């Protein structure tokens, strides 16, 4: 039989926990790691200095940033460091790594994360990844300028495509808005333009009736 090692990571709210579990026929011993022993401010300061200096975070440092909010006690304090960690991740030179770190923070802090803030950040991650796809497809520098102003033409097209897929499944604007984590007003605008194009919903024809922003 192969050896199995079980590691349990405890947030800063836990300073001691059971490590041996006698289940009768089986005794399980886990290796506990207590985040209460981590120096939150020191870690944050060190990572912030590297990111601000344009340096890339290594794998260990990216993991440190992901679990940083769990190294401090209290729900309010955790929420504060969740926002600090996410803002730091947004400033990372490698935007894809930044999105991955942000997603990791959301995953690790799911139990204490403010739902409204989580929805906002998930929307930002989606837009960040969409923008990367646009640049990879070879759009010119005009697209980059558009991205700085808001929703770009490329991301608008992607959004229209996603909405059309939902419309083919006969989903309501409210349901589409929730599933795509997009403003209802924007979704309703696309749905209004899509009237008369069902059941196939040719997104290219629908897109021509927009744009989403004047």
Average the pLDDT over 114-127 and give the result.
71
pLDDT, tens only, 69-89:
999 998 888 889 998 999 999
> Does one domain contain both 177 and 106?
no
| Share above pLDDT 70 across residues of the chain, in percent, rounded to a whole number | 83
> Does one domain contain both 128 and 149?
no
Average the pLDDT over 21-31 and give the result.
92
* Tally of domains in the chain: 3
pLDDT, tens only, 127-144:
555 445 444 444 344 434
Residue 95 reports pLDDT greater than 70? yes
> Does one domain contain both 96 and 55?
yes
| In a domain? residue 2 | no
CB 149 within 8 A of CB 191: no
The whole-model pTM stands at 0.54
Q: Which domain holds residue 92?
A: 39-136
What local confidence, expressed as pLDDT, does residue 156 receive?
Answer: 77
Strands 20-22 and 27-29: antiparallel
């Amino acid at each position: 039989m192969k050896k199995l090692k079980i590691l349990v990571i405890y947030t800063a709210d836990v300073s001691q926990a059971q490590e041996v579990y006698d289940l009768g026929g089986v005794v399980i011993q886990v290796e506990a790691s207590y985040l209460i022993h981590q120096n939150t401010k020191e870690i944050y300061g060190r990572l912030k200095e590297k990111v601000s200096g344009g340096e890339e975070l290594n794998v260990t440092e990216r993991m440190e940033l992901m679990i940083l909010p769990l190294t401090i006690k209290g729900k309010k304090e955790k929420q504060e460091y969740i926002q600090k960690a996410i803002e730091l991740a947004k400033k990372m030179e490698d935007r894809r790594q930044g999105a991955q770190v942000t997603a990791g923070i959301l995953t690790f802090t799911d139990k204490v994360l403010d739902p409204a803030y989580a929805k906002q950040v998930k929307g930002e991650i989606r837009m960040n990844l969409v923008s990367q796809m646009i640049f990879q497809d070879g759009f010119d520098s005009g697209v980059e300028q558009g991205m700085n102003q808001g929703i770009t033409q490329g991301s608008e097209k992607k959004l229209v495509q996603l909405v059309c897929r939902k419309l083919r499944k006969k989903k309501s604007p409210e349901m589409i808005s929730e599933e795509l984590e997009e403003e209802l007003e924007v979704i309703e605008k696309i749905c209004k333009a899509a009237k008369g194009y069902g059941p196939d919903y040719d997104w290219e024809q629908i897109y021509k009736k927009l744009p989403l922003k004047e």
